[in-house]
Chain A
Amino acid sequence: MDIENATAQMRKGVLEFSILSILSRNDAYASDIINELKSVNLIVVEGTLYPLLTRQKNYGLLSYRWEESVKGPPRKYYKITEDGSQFLAKLDESWEQLTKSVNKIRVTSKNAQKNETSDL
């Protein structure tokens, strides 16, 4: 198990969570989602987003409709579904739980480390 793989797994989960969160505010084009994820450094290359969107759509968490754009052909306009909102609520809940738990463990570990170094 290497660090790259571990972070990839983590980021994958976080990304799916973030996509649903963004769409819960309002419907968006894929490019809007990308821009927001990029602005918070959650995504490096855009290509990674599309497989996630399609997979979430296939699970019924999202849907899309074709929206006419100013220039060029119509584009997919994504919208969170009822299932998606419920799923998001559960994710929110477990996220709270997870961050709390993980933070607790991390703080304890850090303190233990500090104590160890001060003991010396």
Chain B
Amino acid sequence: MKKAIKIHISGYVFTIDEDAYDKLNDWTQKISEQFKDEEGGAEIVSDIEARVAELFSEKMKDEETVITIEEVNEIISIMGMAEDFSEETTNGNSYETERIKFKKRLYRDDDNAFIGGVCGGLGNYFNVDAVYIRLAFVLLVLFGGFGPLIYLILWIITPKAKTAAQKLEMKGERVNVSNIEKTIKEEFESVRKNIIRQTKSDSYKNVSSGIEKLILLIFKIIKVVFKVILYFIAGMFIFFGAMFLIILLGLLFFGTIPHFASTSGDIFIFGTILEAIPISISGFWAQLGLIIVIGIPLITLIYAGIKIIFNFKTNNKIIGITATTLWFIGLFLSLSIGLNIAGNYKNDNQEIKSFNIDKTNSDTLYLESKIISEEYDEDSQMDLDNYLITKEKGKLKITGHPDFRIEQSYDKSTSLKLKYKSKGKSRRNALNNITQIEYNWSQKDSLITFDDIFKIKGEQKIYGQEVEMILYLPVGKSVYLSPSMEEIIFDIQNVQNMWDNNMTDKIWTMTKDGLSLYPNEKPEKDTESYDIDLD
């Protein structure tokens, strides 16, 4: 079923199919455009129309015979396309016009406008997709804030491409008939669609009163503001999504945070951590799991941003379902690996060794620490909680910080208690892990030297190994904490309530109330005498 239209062409009446009419109308418009700037152009067009009418009337027996698209095609082939006229219409100076190079001009592109068509126009001018220009503006907002200002200025100074010729100039296409035809066709289509849309919507009315106009204007402004905000959010999505994704991938594959995102000088080596903790399967799976669990939401964020900016409405369910499924697989993978790792820390055990250190000549013990951590290359080191992981020649060396504290001895003897602690899958495993701890200390008369770190031997991983030392000091006995002890002393209770880092380079005496700087409880008097100068 086809719709037929009655038309008048220079005094004749015809019945014509809708598609045939569209074609004929298109052709006539194209010709009108061709002659519109010429003297007597309207006359030429009407002459041509008259001839068309004549030709139709010869073909059609009466008004009721419907003109189909075949007849229109035939007439057009007789009359010729507008391009066929062009060579004759140029007024003798066609050589010159041919030679004039076509110049591109900056216009605002209303057909491709998000706000004012500035980006669309710039895109046409520089021959890039307007989306990238928009993105650049959004980024300008993020980094400097002068994006909107530039936009506003461009909006004001750039003219809008109105005529077909201007639109072609904007796109840098040559203003010739076939190009104008193309543009007009597009315009015609868009206008037609607009009209259909407008007439269909209920809100379409003859806007006559000023108030209604004002309301419409306000709506338009709100729409634009909303669009800008939406665009901004989309830009943020893409920006932060991409940034975190780069950080994530950088961590997993290159071991470090990309420099620009690094906030401190610390090198954070994810792969090394995976090597240092007990995982029964390859660290690759853990990395994969993390990529999926964190990466998919990030990609979704970027995707959402791009979707808003590019304004496409694909709702590909397969992608969504796949991504969601993949995410759950990743989550499952990560969780099972996490549980697997956690299983290695289920039980703990400890081994305690005690040493008597009564046989000293003086009543004061001198405690110092031997800094053996300096043996390790600091550049390939990382701190992980209480541990220090060093990678030397592809092999991991794990060391830990021991804790040292002083408590009151209740049996008048001085002793040192070493507690080796570790976790493991079972208590037996934990005990086995303890045997892998290597810690050295030594006593030379009243001088006791502690290593500043304990080593974890062989290929052993981190199982929460700890070394805890308690020096039991009877009342009346003193210790001197040399500055090097700062590395290992941990939360030593004292009468003065002094912090660990202030306790070194001082002599402490055990009193009934605990460790004190002033055993005679006369802190006002010559406090300085209790400080010993090592030199």
- Interface residues, chain A, with chain B CB atoms under 8 Å away: 1, 4-5, 8-9, 11-12, 15, 30-31, 34, 44-48, 50-55, 57-58, 71-73, 75-76
Which listed residue (B11, B51, B54, B82) contacts A50, Cβ 8 A? B51
Complex Cα–Cα for A101 and B43 (A): 38
Which A residues touch B95, using CB under 8 A? 1, 5
Say yes or no: is B94 at the interface (Cβ < 8 Å to chain A). Answer: yes
Q: Quick one: which of B12-70 are within 8 Å of A by CB?
A: 12, 31, 35, 38-40, 43-44, 47-48, 50-51, 53-54, 57
Which residue of the partner chain, among A9, A48, A52, contacts B80 with CB atoms under 8 Å? A48
Q: Which residues does B use to contact A, with CB under 8 Å? A: 10-12, 31, 35, 38-40, 43-44, 47-48, 50-51, 53-54, 57, 77-82, 84-85, 87-89, 92, 94-95, 98
Contact A47 B10 (CB under 8 A): no
Nearest B residue to A58, CB-CB: B40
What 9 pairs across the A-B complex have the smallest Cβ distances? A45-B80, A73-B11, A8-B87, A47-B80, A47-B79, A50-B47, A54-B40, A54-B44, A45-B84
B31 (CB) vs chain A CBs: closest residue: A47
Bound complex: CA of A30 vs CA of B488, how far in Å?
112
Q: Which residues of B contact A11 (CB under 8 A)?
A: 88
- Set B10, B44, B77: member contacting A51, Cβ < 8 A: B44
> Which among B31, B57, B79 is the interface contact of A46 at CB below 8 angstroms?
B79
> Is B54 in contact with A31, judged by CB distance below 8 angstroms?
yes
**Most A Cβ at <10 Å: residue of B11, B43, B53:** B43
A12 close to B88 (CB less than 8 A): yes
Do B88 and A15 have beta carbons less than 8 Å apart?
Answer: yes
Which of chain B's residues have a CB closer than 8 A to the CB of A58? 39-40
Find the A residue at minimum CB distance from B10: A73
Shortest distance in angstroms between A57's beta carbon and chain B's nearest beta carbon?
Answer: 8
A15: B residues at CB distance < 8 A: 88
Which residues of A have CB within 8 Å of B11? Answer: 72-73
What would be 21 A-B contacts, judged by CB atoms less than 8 Å apart? Answer: A1-B95, A5-B87, A5-B98, A8-B87, A8-B94, A9-B92, A45-B80, A45-B81, A46-B51, A46-B78, A46-B80, A48-B84, A51-B35, A51-B44, A51-B89, A54-B43, A54-B44, A73-B10, A75-B50, A76-B47, A76-B50
A contact residues around B77 at 8 Å (CB): 45
Q: Which residues of B contact A30 (CB under 8 A)?
A: 47, 51
Question: Known interface pairs A5-B98, A58-B39, A72-B12. Does A52 touch B88 (Cβ–Cβ under 8 Å)?
Answer: yes
Q: Which residue of chain B has its CB nearest to the CB of A29? A: B54
Partner of B53, one of A1, A8, A72: A72
B240 to chain A, nearest CB (A): 57
Residue numbers in B under 8 Å from A4 (CB-CB)? 87
New A-B contacts (13) at CB < 8 Å, excluding given A46-B79, A58-B40: A5-B94, A5-B98, A12-B88, A30-B51, A31-B54, A45-B77, A45-B79, A47-B48, A50-B48, A55-B40, A72-B53, A72-B57, A73-B12
B84 contact from A1, A47, A54, A72, Cβ within 8 A: A47
Shortest Cβ gap from A102 to chain B (Å): 19
Q: In the bound complex, what is the Cα–Cα distance between A46 and B51 (angstroms)?
A: 9
- In the docked arrangement, what's the CA distance between A57 and B46, Å? 15
Contact residue among A8, A54, A57, A75 (Cβ-Cβ distance under 8 Å from B54): A75
Known contacts A53-B47, A54-B47, A75-B54: does B80 contact A44 (CB below 8 Å)?
Answer: yes
C-alpha gap A119/B286 in the complex (Å): 90
- In the complex formed, the residue of B with least CB distance to A34 is B51
Closest Cβ–Cβ distance, residue B67 to chain A (whole Å): 15
Rounded to whole Å, the gap between the CB of A55 and the closest CB of chain B is 7
Is A44 a contact of B54 with CB atoms below 8 Å?
no
Which partner residue on chain B sits nearest A9 by CB separation? Answer: B94
CB distance from A53 to the nearest CB of B (A): 7
Minimum distance in angstroms from B303 CB to a CB of chain A: 51
Cβ–Cβ < 8 Å partners of A57 in chain B:
40
Whether A50 pairs with B98 at a CB distance below 8 angstroms is no
Find the residue from A4, A9, A15, A57 having the highest chain B CB count within 10 A.
A9
Tell me the complex Cα distance, A70–B259, Å.
90
Task: Assess whether A47 is in contact with B85, with CB atoms less than 8 Å apart.
Answer: yes
C-alpha spacing A110/B85, complex, angstroms: 34
- List of A residues within 8 angstroms of B57 by Cβ: 71-72
Question: Residue on A with the closest CB to B38?
Answer: A51
Residues of B within 8 A of A1 (CB): 95
> From A11, which residue of chain B is reached at the shortest CB distance?
B88
